[in-house]
Amino acid sequence: MRAKRQYLFIDFEFTMPERNVRMKDFYAEIIEVGIVAVVDDQVTEQFSSFVTPLKFPRLTERCKSFLHITQQQVDKGLSIFELVKKLEEFNQLNYETTIVTWGNMDMKVLRHNCLKAGVAFPLKAAELDLSMEYKRFFGDQNQTGLWKAVQEYGKEGTGRHHRALDDALTTFNIFKLVEKDKRYLEKPEPTTIGDRIDFSKLLNEFA
């Protein structure tokens, strides 16, 4: 029996240091998570939560103004340990799972946060950086930002940029558009008999 295909579209927002201020041992920590789970082309779950940083719980002014996230929101968020537990729920044994992110930072930061918290990386899945897939597919020289990619498709992003669930939904939407284009290129329209036979040559032969 064919295993079901699960795609997890994941986006995290991270802490940021103040500009031009040296913060000793600072590293980026997850402060918001957005997940869209899709099984056999059907959205099965959408999950969104703030996350409380473990090492540097106080957000910088730069972080708050850039992401429009308040200290109160992250203070009431999940701990990294609760986040890991939530992510483990998506390890369905009978699913072929692929994690899809825009860029490679999300999984890098999650791995580093797990290491710092002393917990195992929770996801057992293949990983796909959709921004690289998009770059290869369209032959762009540079990596394109998530919302710029949507606009290049003549669409709009879902909700607000730099909100984790909205960005995860936008990643899902681009994924569908790219997959549709790839299928279109793989299966060109069948040629008509007129395309296969040059009727002008044929008529000349009988003239």
Can you give the length of the chain in residues? 207
Sign of the Cα pseudo-torsion (77, 82, 87, 89, in order): negative
Spatial separation of the C-alpha atoms in residues 115 and 91, rounded to whole Å: 19
Q: What angle do CA 40, 42, 46 make, to 5 degrees?
A: 125
Q: Has 112 been annotated as catalytic?
A: no
Cα torsion 102, 105, 108, 109 to 10°: value is: -120
User: Which among 112, 127, 133, 162 is annotated as catalytic?
Assistant: 162
User: Which among 13, 127, 186, 189 is annotated as catalytic?
Assistant: 13
CA 127 to chain centre: 10
Q: Has 61 been annotated as catalytic?
A: no
CA nearest 119: which of 83, 156, 66, 162? 83
What residues are labeled active site?
13, 162
